[in-house]
A and B are shown apart, each in its own frame.
Chain A
Amino acid sequence: QKEVEQNSGPLSVPEGAIASLNCTYSDRGSQSFFWYRQYSGKSPELIMFIYSNGDKEDGRFTAQLNKASQYVSLLIRDSQPSDSATYLCAVNGGTGFQKLVFGTGTRLLVSP
């Protein structure tokens, strides 16, 4: 079983819709969870992170965490074509120091 699992997609949504990206993880001891956006050929860009159960909102982005179900998601409201990218879920697997364990990413396509 992979440590961090994501559907590779592509997830296709029309402009203005809500995109929902999901991620599951295997280590119950994981404490924090990160979402990165990566455009083709570029490096990952941090969108937001969450460490408490529930929702965390930042602009058009909402991260949701359910530790009991070992599930984290990212909602993108009012999706724009510029949101088309690969979204990487990462889990902090380190103790003392941060060590990010990434999923393979979900490719999102937002059509005008």
Chain B
Amino acid sequence: DAGVTQSPTHLIKTRGQQVTLRCSPKSGHDTVSWYQQALGQGPQFIFQYYEEEERQRGNFPDRFSGHQFPNYSSELNVNALLLGDSALYLCASSLYSGAPSRTEAFFGQGTRLTVV
């Protein structure tokens, strides 16, 4: 049973460029959330997708956008990259149950993005 998979694992981009990160959720899961983790910090919620729609969004600018496909996989896009966007980007998948307090979210291995 495949867990949450993310690609690529590492990426180096130049300021001003655009990047796309990909995530395949755990088998049986239908909800994907994206988090950004800066060095020495806890993960910060970017946004969440369910039924191909963005359901919740954290305090991130519109440069961060996403998409969910019919097979539940998801992409995170970041435009006009800044040096401060350098971080570990984590995808978490879960199964929507209508009871968020009982939902377990499992993380992928992450994509390490470096902006130079």
Contact across chains for B109 and A43 when beta carbons are under 8 A apart: yes
Bound-state CA distance A36–B101 (Å) is 16
- Given A43-B90, A43-B110, CB of A98 within 8 Å of CB of B42: no
- Residues of A near B101 (CB, < 8 A) are 31-32, 51, 92, 98
Residues 68-112 of chain A, each 1 if its beta carbon lies under 8 Å from chain B, else 0: 000000000000000000001010111111111111110000000
B56–A97 contact, CB under 8 A? yes
| Residues in chain A near residue B48, CB distance under 8 A | 94, 97-99
In the complex, B86 has a CB within 8 A of chain A: no
Other-chain residue from B41, B56, B104 in contact with A104 (beta carbon distance below 8 A): B41
Nearest opposing residue in chain A for B57, CB measure: A99
- CB-CB under 8 A from B72, the residues of chain A are none
Query: Smallest CB–CB gap between A53 and chain B, Å?
Result: 13
Q: Number of contact residues on B: which range applies?
A: 20 to 34
Among A32-63, those with CB < 8 Å from B are 32, 34, 36, 42-46, 49, 51
CB-based nearest B residue for A6: B42
CB nearest to A2 among chain B residues: B42
- Interface size on A, as a range, is 20 to 34
Residues of chain A with a CB closer than 8 A to B94's CB? 98
Q: Does B55 contact A (CB under 8 A)?
A: yes
Residue of B nearest to A88 (CB): B42
Further pairs besides A46-B104, A94-B48, A102-B42: 4, Cβ < 8 Å: A32-B100, A92-B100, A97-B50, A104-B40
A residues within 8 Å of B by Cβ? 4, 31-32, 34, 36, 42-46, 49, 51, 88, 90, 92-105
21 of the cross-chain contacts (CB-CB < 8 Å) are A31-B101, A32-B100, A32-B101, A32-B102, A32-B103, A34-B105, A43-B107, A46-B104, A94-B48, A94-B56, A96-B98, A97-B48, A97-B56, A98-B33, A98-B94, A98-B103, A99-B56, A100-B105, A102-B42, A104-B42, A105-B42
